[in-house]
A and B are shown apart, each in its own frame.
Chain A
Amino acid sequence: MSETKPGWKEILIAGVPFKSSLEYKTGDWRVFKPVIDDNKCIKCLLCNIYCPDMSIKVRWDETGNKALGVYVNYEYCKGCGICADICPVKAITMVKEER
């Protein structure tokens, strides 16, 4: 909240957002962050499918057909924990954020 935000004369009326949703970094909402254990991961990609914020990304091989693993985009991950809950091999743990 330390950044300077525009005043009422500058922003659009009607509460219409004036920038792309990509610019709304929701990662700072997070209390717990998902941490992926690559050794346990079976690359089923359920976490990628279930993530409501498209924040679980897949690492593909050069052919683009085979998943090598998954990683988290912490800029947008809100820490909801759905990925950890859905993981069939408990490869994702929710760790308290330290700020």
Chain B
Amino acid sequence: MAKGKLLGVADQEELLLNGDEAVAWAVYHVEPDVVAAYPITPQTIIVERFSEFVADGLVRTEFVSVESEHSALSACVGAAAAGGRAFTATAANGLQLMNEILYITSSLRLPIVMAIANRAVSGPINIHCDHTDTMNVRDAGWIMLFCEDAQEVYDTVIQAFKIAENPKVLLPVMVCFDGFLISHTAQRVKVFKDPNVVREKFLGGPRKPVKIKLMGQEVELSLNPKNPIPVTFGPLDLYDYYFEHKRQQSEAMQNAYEVIREVHDEYAKLSGRSYGNGLIVPYRLEDAEIVVVVMGSAAGTMRYVIDGLREEGVKIGLLRIKSFRPFPYKEIAEVLKNAKVIGVFDRAQDQGMMGGPLFLEIRAALYDLENRPTVVNYVFGLGGRDAPPELFRRAFDELVGIAKGTVKPFIRKYIGVRE
């Protein structure tokens, strides 16, 4: 690679990729030490395509075919504890089977990256998109980044490794994107021409585990046999230390806000693409009285509807939440402080709750505002139910009605479901 090419935006080429292939290309460009995965729709294409890269000799990654998702993540835990860079991918029920290891990964502070093609959780069996699978594991101590399209998926997977491996963070990252809507939909995606732009320039070569002081000696925080003093991962940790270790995890999550922004900005310089500040992505919010909040691919449809309403003179905007964990409550309160009516759109189950998970957290984030806006919840698109512009248009008109005082505010509604 010529030295001069290191400055400014790196050379890229445009490919026709679906969301899953975009992940595979990102992982190819990162070249982790270990990829262990088990196939599940709609994530399968990721590892299918990546295994071809391995077979073609484009990467030196150790590709491990395992017998379950529980084993997939467990193999990654071993690889990461040994100091390697590890990646896996799953969705829906596969993610639920990983549940036990999700908590172990984050508590052992292993910077594993996992792609999730969001899919409804059985039963009844459904392979299509909603966010219930990831909402179900939102408290597992993983950083969770939600993408809108295949390009963002490629960009975010690469960033995820750098965020995860930052010594101030050292937490695993999930990169989530809508199953089928993004995972199986082909799109023009710009990828770096030279993988070394990602591997060497952006990530700085292979993963370097942090150094720690152990019994007076400097050792690597890994199961590296060359350590002068061996390190133990995962021993019993009872009432006298467990709480302190959880407190450390909370602190790492707090540090992640800043690191996500820094990595996002650095990547933006390298790629020429940016997504808000890396945490939230505002759209036409400057003077918006009505704001809709959403995660995932529905944001594109919503922007189209918002543009139409703006032409009619309605002051409406969109806030897309990219980072769900850590939840950027301060940034959200800041950009929504002047809004009158807010509609939060949850593509996830709300059973037994006051509303969907996104709604609850948005509402809580706004509680300390001087002028609290009206916040209502819409649950939509479960199990891949189509969410066309007309659906959102009707809901947005309702929000306009609430702002005008012609529609009575409510807590939660289900849209797109047959009565």
Q: Which of A1-42 contact B (CB under 8 A)?
A: 1, 5-8, 11-20
In the complex, the answer to whether A15 meets B241 with C-beta atoms within 8 Å is: yes
In the complex, the answer to whether B221 meets A15 with C-beta atoms within 8 Å is: no
Question: How many of chain B's residues have a CB under 8 angstroms from any CB in A?
Answer: 25
Among residues of A, the one whose C-beta sits closest to the C-beta of B232 is: A17
Among residues of B, the one whose C-beta sits closest to the C-beta of A19 is: B215
Cα of A13 to Cα of B247 in the assembled complex, Å:
10
Query: With a CB–CB cut-off of 8 A, which chain A residues contact B221?
Result: 12-14, 16
Q: Mark B241-252, 1 if CB is under 8 A from A, else 0.
A: 111110110011
Q: Which of B196-241 contact A (CB under 8 A)?
A: 212, 214-215, 221, 231-235, 237, 240-241
Query: With a CB–CB cut-off of 8 A, which chain B residues contact A14?
Result: 107-110, 170, 221, 233, 245
In the complex, the answer to whether A7 meets B109 with C-beta atoms within 8 Å is: no
What DSSP secondary structure best describes chain A's contact surface?
Answer: loop
Which of B214, B215, B235, B247 has a CB less than 8 Å from the CB of A15? B235
In the complex, the answer to whether A16 meets B240 with C-beta atoms within 8 Å is: no
Cα of A17 to Cα of B241 in the assembled complex, Å:
10
Query: With a CB–CB cut-off of 8 A, which chain A residues contact B244?
Result: 6-8, 11
Give the number of A-B contacts (CB < 8 Å).
Answer: 53
Give, as a whole number of angstroms, the nearest-CB distance from B249 to chain A.
8
Query: With a CB–CB cut-off of 8 A, which chain A residues contact B245?
Result: 8, 11, 13-15
In the complex, the answer to whether B212 meets A15 with C-beta atoms within 8 Å is: no
Cα of A7 to Cα of B248 in the assembled complex, Å:
10
Chain A interface size band reads 10 to 19
Cα of A15 to Cα of B247 in the assembled complex, Å:
12
Query: With a CB–CB cut-off of 8 A, which chain A residues contact B109?
Result: 13-14
Give, as a whole number of angstroms, the nearest-CB distance from A5 to chain B.
6
Give, as a whole number of angstroms, the nearest-CB distance from B89 to chain A.
24
In the complex, the answer to whether A13 meets B170 with C-beta atoms within 8 Å is: yes
| A7-B244, A8-B244 known; A15-B237 Cβ under 8 A | yes
| A8-B245, A8-B247, A20-B215 known; A15-B234 Cβ under 8 A | yes
Among residues of B, the one whose C-beta sits closest to the C-beta of A11 is: B244
Query: With a CB–CB cut-off of 8 A, which chain A residues contact B231?
Result: 16
Cα of A1 to Cα of B241 in the assembled complex, Å:
12
Among residues of A, the one whose C-beta sits closest to the C-beta of B250 is: A8
Give, as a whole number of angstroms, the nearest-CB distance from B242 to chain A.
8
Query: With a CB–CB cut-off of 8 A, which chain A residues contact B242?
Result: 15
Cα of A8 to Cα of B251 in the assembled complex, Å:
10
Which of A5, A7, A8, A16 has a CB less than 8 Å from the CB of B212? A16
Cα of A5 to Cα of B249 in the assembled complex, Å:
19
In the complex, the answer to whether A12 meets B214 with C-beta atoms within 8 Å is: yes
Query: With a CB–CB cut-off of 8 A, which chain B residues contact A16?
Result: 212, 214, 221, 231-233
Cα of A57 to Cα of B237 in the assembled complex, Å:
28
In the complex, the answer to whether B232 meets A8 with C-beta atoms within 8 Å is: no
Query: With a CB–CB cut-off of 8 A, which chain A residues contact B248?
Result: 8, 11, 13
Q: Which of B34-93 contact A (CB under 8 A)?
A: none
Among residues of B, the one whose C-beta sits closest to the C-beta of A5 is: B240
Give, as a whole number of angstroms, the nearest-CB distance from B24 to chain A.
30
Cα of A5 to Cα of B237 in the assembled complex, Å:
14
Give, as a whole number of angstroms, the nearest-CB distance from A21 to chain B.
9
Give, as a whole number of angstroms, the nearest-CB distance from B211 to chain A.
11
Among residues of B, the one whose C-beta sits closest to the C-beta of A21 is: B232
Cα of A15 to Cα of B242 in the assembled complex, Å:
8
In the complex, the answer to whether A1 meets B235 with C-beta atoms within 8 Å is: no
Cα of A13 to Cα of B251 in the assembled complex, Å:
11
Among residues of B, the one whose C-beta sits closest to the C-beta of A14 is: B109
In the complex, the answer to whether A12 meets B212 with C-beta atoms within 8 Å is: yes
Query: With a CB–CB cut-off of 8 A, which chain A residues contact B237?
Result: 15
Among residues of A, the one whose C-beta sits closest to the C-beta of B247 is: A8
Query: With a CB–CB cut-off of 8 A, which chain B residues contact A6?
Result: 244
Which of B107, B234, B235, B241 has a CB less than 8 Å from the CB of A11? B241
Query: With a CB–CB cut-off of 8 A, which chain A residues contact B108?
Result: 14-15
Among residues of A, the one whose C-beta sits closest to the C-beta of B239 is: A1
In the complex, the answer to whether A18 meets B240 with C-beta atoms within 8 Å is: no
Among residues of A, the one whose C-beta sits closest to the C-beta of B110 is: A14
Query: With a CB–CB cut-off of 8 A, which chain B residues contact A1?
Result: 240
Instruction: Please provide the 3 A-B residue pairs with the shortest distance between their CB atoms, ordered closest to farther.
Output: A8-B244, A14-B109, A8-B247
A residues in contact (CB < 8 Å) with B: 1, 5-8, 11-20
14 A–B contacts, CB within 8 A, in A order: A5-B240, A5-B241, A8-B251, A11-B244, A11-B245, A13-B170, A14-B170, A14-B221, A14-B245, A15-B234, A15-B242, A15-B245, A16-B214, A19-B215
B residues in contact (CB < 8 Å) with A: 107-110, 170, 212, 214-215, 221, 231-235, 237, 240-245, 247-248, 251-252
